[in-house]
Amino acid sequence: MRTALRKAVPAAIPFLAITIAIESLVRAGWVKAWLVPPPSAIFQTIVRDAPELFRALAMTSFGALTGFALSAAFGIAIAVYLSSSRAIQQAFYPYAIFFQTVPIIAIAPLLVIWFGYGLRTVVASAFIVSIFPVIANTLSGILSTDRALRDLFSLYGASRSATLWKLSFPAALPQILTGLRIAGGLAVIGAIVGEFIGGQGLGAVVDVARTQQRTDKVFAAVLLASFLGLALFGLINLLSRVVLQRWHASEQN
């Protein structure tokens, strides 16, 4: 706990510095408050609109986490399947890339038709936006298995599944976790984009606040969304540490 605090201090310094800088610039009249709301106003908004904002945050969190969990599960499963043969990779990998390039905004109206307004559209959006890095990283991790170890496994007659589960998959874990880390941030973005379309959570708060020119509230919602992204990132890092603690040099200290 104490080390966590000590780690948080250096990260808090730029945050405080920027906060103070913006506040002073706005108070001095150098920057107009209706363009960049002063941090104090954002904070007041968070306090005043706390019930609404935190209910929205809870909805966004649920949508983002569900989408992320689906991405993790399906992404890893798809990558494992793709890794089974070069022919399968050539046949299906281009379609995995589709997930990365799909302009989520362009297909937004369709998402609503397919999944209806509300949570399912949010989850679908978070899922579509975040699955690709999981697939790409898992696949590249599995495919880059040490050749010497592959030789060793074949020397002792290991089956394909034994090679996958006792060698390739665990060896790919650091890369899988990197993929999950990227996917976590994307899932939050995907969820919020989904909420613009699907109409709930922080996305809807931003939508409404923007039409009302409530920049303070827009920023308040954005700030909460960032904290959600940060929390998800921290969660995955924690998972990473637990999984990799003993065997990765990068996690040694």
Give the whole-angstrom CA distance, residue 79 versus residue 70.
14
Q: Which is nearer to other proteins, 39 or 78 (CB)?
A: 39
Among 15, 34, 54, 165, which residue sits at the site for other proteins (rule: CB under 8 A)?
34
Based on the shown chain and the rule CB under 8 A, indicate whether residue 182 belongs to the binding site for other proteins: no
Instruction: Look up residue 165 and give its DSSP letter.
Output: I
The H or E element that residue 38 is part of is none
Based on the shown chain and the rule CB under 8 A, indicate whether residue 210 belongs to the binding site for other proteins: yes
Based on the shown chain and the rule CB under 8 A, indicate whether residue 171 belongs to the binding site for other proteins: yes
Q: Which of residues 42-101 bind other proteins (CB under 8 A)?
A: none
Is the separation of the CB atoms in 191 and 67 below 8 Å?
yes
Coil/strand/helix, residue 217: helix
Q: Which of residues 144-163 bind other proteins (CB under 8 A)?
A: 146, 148-149, 151-158, 162
Question: Which range of residues in 77-85, 94-102, 130-138, 244-252 is near other proteins by CB under 8 A?
Answer: 244-252
Tokens read off for 4: 């966590």
Instruction: Look up residue 251 and give its DSSP letter.
Output: G
Question: Which range of residues in 34-42, 57-65, 76-84, 134-142 is near other proteins by CB under 8 A?
Answer: 34-42
Tokens read off for 136: 């790409």
Question: Which range of residues in 65-73, 74-82, 166-174, 227-235 is near other proteins by CB under 8 A?
Answer: 166-174
Residues sharing a CB contact under 8 Å with residue 237, sequence separation 6 or more, in sequence order: 181
Distance in angstroms between the alpha carbons of the first and the last residue of the chain: 16
* DSSP code per residue over 80-117: HHHTT-HHHHHHHHHHHHHHHH--TTTTHHHHHHHH-S
The size of the interface with other proteins (CB under 8 A), counted in residues, is: 52
Residue 33: CB minimum distance to other proteins, A = 6
Residues found near other proteins in the complex (CB under 8 A): 32-36, 105, 108-110, 112-113, 117, 146, 148-149, 151-158, 162, 166-167, 170-171, 173, 192-193, 196-199, 204, 206-213, 215, 218, 222, 246-249, 252
